[in-house]
Structure 1
Amino acid sequence: MTERWITGLIKINSLDIGYKKNIVSRNINLEIGTGISLFFGKNGTGKTTFFRTLTGIMLPLNGNIYYDGDKLRDGSIVKDDISILTHKSGLYSNLTIRENLDYWKSFYRNNLSTITEALLREFDLNNITDRVVRTLSKGQTQKLAIIRSLIPNVKYIFLDEPLNGLDVKSKIKFSEILYELKKNKTILISTHGFSDFDIENSNKFIFYNQTIEPYGKVVSEIWGDSIYIEITMGNKIPQEVLKEFNIDEIGECTYSCSFESKVMKDKFYNKINGLDIISVKTTENQLKSILSD
C-alpha cells in the first residue's frame, strides 16, 4: 500500500471558484485530511461549485488543488480515487435499483467495496431492488443515490447536500454509516443545516465572507475566545447577578454576556436556576444566522 493511499490529504492553495469572470468564492486555502469534513453555507455561497471544482468537473479560476501531493491538472483526476453525490441523482429512471447499481459498479470494477447489500438493508431497499427508479419516492431515490456513492472503495467521497429528502430515521442511519467509513476515508459533506450532523466529531468549515474558513476561526473572529450568550427572560435577572457576571441588558428582559470558560457559563446558569427563561442564543445559534437563507 502506497503512502499516497494512506494519507488521503487534499491541499488547496489560493483557490478561486466560479464561472468565467464571476467569482463565487475566492482565496480558499485549506488542508483536508482523513475523516469527515463538513462545509456549511447558505444557498448560493458556492458549496456545489466548490465540490465540482475539487472533483475536476469544473476548472478553477485560479489556484491549485493537490491530492496527496499530486496536482489536479486540466480538470482530470484518477476516477478510481473519487466518488461523488451531486444534487441531481444521476440515476437512470428506466432502470431498476439493481441495474443502476450494477451500471455504476462497472466504472469501478477493480475498486469496489463489499457493503452494497448491507447498505440496501440499512436503507430498506433490499426487498425492492427490482423496482424501476421512476416509481420510487423522493426519499427512496435519495437513498439509492447515497448507496451508489458509497459502494466504490475509494479514498475520497464528496456528498453534496446528502440529506435532502431523507426522513429522520434515514438521516440517523446515514450518519451512523458515515462514522464507520470515516476511519480510512476522506469524506467531504456540504450542507446548509447546521444541526444535521454531529459536528463535534468532524472538521468544520463555513462559507463566510466569500471564502471558506475553519469553523473555529469564524467563531474567534466574531466572538473572540469567549462563549457568547444572548438570553431572553420572562422576568428580570437580579442586579447582583448582572454585576457579578458583567451582563448587559440589551432589551426588555433580554441580556447578552460572554463567558471566558464553560465553568463560568455553568455558574451563571446555576444563579438563574428557577427563573423563567424564554430563549437562549449561543455561539452556534448565532452562526445559524450566517447560514440561513
Structure 2
Amino acid sequence: MMSLIELRNVSKSFKGLSLFENLSVSFEKGKIYGIVGHNGSGKSVLFKMMCGFVFPDQGSVIVNGEELGKNKRFPENFGIIIDKPGYLGDKTGFENLRYLADIQNKISDEKIKEILEKVGLSHTIMQKVKNYSLGMKQKLAIAQAIMEDQEILLLDEPFNGLDVDSVENIRDLLKSLNNQGKTIFLTSHNNEDIDILCDHVFRVRNYSLEQLK
C-alpha cells in the first residue's frame, strides 16, 4: 500500500541548529500518530515540512505520491495547528472562521456553527477574539483545522490551555474523526493524550524519529 506521507533522506537545519539528518519515514492513511520530544527538538519543523510551509535542506517529502516543491507547494486537504494561529482580534470567532472559509468557499455558515459547537464554543457568542481565554483560542484553532472536513490533521499541542472537560471532548472528537478515516498527527506534553489516542508514537531523537509504539 502506498504511504500517505513519506519523508526520504530528509535533512533539515533551523536557525543554525541541525534537527534532522538523513531521516526516512513513512506514514499510512487512517492512523493517529503521536510525535514526542523535548522543546526545540524539531516537532514543529517536522510538521512544517509535511505541509509545505518549509522545505528540507536535502531529501524529499512526498504526500499522496507527489513530491512537495516540484509541481505542488502545498498539499491539499490538510488541517493545521502549528505555533499560535493568528486571528483578527476585533472580530468574533465565527467571523474569523467565515473569513477563512471564504478562501475556498467550501462550507456554509451552518457548518461553521456546527463545528464551533463541537469544539465547545457557542456560535452565538459575540465576544471578540482579543478577549478570548487561552482555552477559547485553542478551541477556535481546532475548529479551523477541521471545519472543511480535512483528510489530514497536523495538530501541534492541540490540548494546550484546555480544561479537563474540554480535553475529554476534544479527545472524543479526534477519535470520531479518525473513525471517519482521517489521518491525525499530534504532539502533546501530556503522555496520557498520546497513550489514549495514538496508534503509533515516534520520538524525535538523534536527528531522526525513533518509533516507540
Identify which of 86, 100, 103 aligns with 2:82: 86
TM-score by length of 1: 0.65
1:234-281 CA distance string (max 9 Å, x none): xxxxxxxxxxxxxxxxxxxxxxxxxxxxxxxxxxxxxxxxxxxxxxxx
CA distance in 1, matches of 2:3, 2:212: 21
Contact 1:39/1:188 (<8 A) preserved:
yes
Does 1:204 find its partner at 2:192? no
- Does residue 151 (structure 1) correspond to residue 151 (structure 2)? The answer is no
Q: What is the aligned-residue identity percentage?
A: 27
Aligned partner (choices 129, 132, 136) of residue 140 of structure 1:
136
- Relative distance call for 1:198 and 1:172 in structure 2 (3 A) is farther
8 Å CA contact 1:91–1:145 kept in 2: the answer is no
Matching residue within 39, 54, 73 for 1:76: 73
Higher relative contact order (CA 8 A, sep 6+): 2
C-alpha separation between the residues in 1 aligned to 2:98 and 2:137?
16
The alignment of Structure 1 onto Structure 2 pairs a total of residues equal to 210
Moved over 6 A (4+): 111-114
Counterpart amino acid of residue 42 in structure 2? G
Residue 109 to residue 29, structure 1, CA distance change in 2 (3 Å): same
Structure 1: 5+ residue stretches without partners: 217-293
Structure whose CA Rg is larger: 1
- Give the match for residue 186 of structure 1: 183
Which runs of 5 or more structure 2 residues have no equivalent in the other structure? none
Per the TM alignment, residue 199 of structure 1 is displaced from its structure 2 partner at its CA by: 4.1
Q: Deviations over 1:103-124 (max 9, x none)?
A: 1112232378975333322333
**What is the letter of the counterpart of residue 10 of structure 1?**
I
Q: Is the 8 A contact 2:50 2:61 kept in 1?
A: yes
1:133 alignment partner AA: V
- How does the TM-score come out when normalised to structure 2? 0.88
2:51 counterpart of 1:55: yes
Checking the alignment, whether the CA contact within 8 Å between 1:8 and 1:186 is kept in structure 2 is: no
Question: Which residue is equivalent to 2:120?
Answer: 124
Q: Distance in 1 between matches of 2:69 and 2:47?
A: 16
* Other-structure match for 2:42: 46
Alignment of 1:226-237 (within 5 A): none
Change (3 A) 1:98 1:110: closer
Query: What is the alpha-carbon distance in structure 2 between the residues aligned to residue 49 and residue 201 of structure 1?
Result: 20
Q: 1:54 to 1:201 in 2, by over 3 A?
A: closer
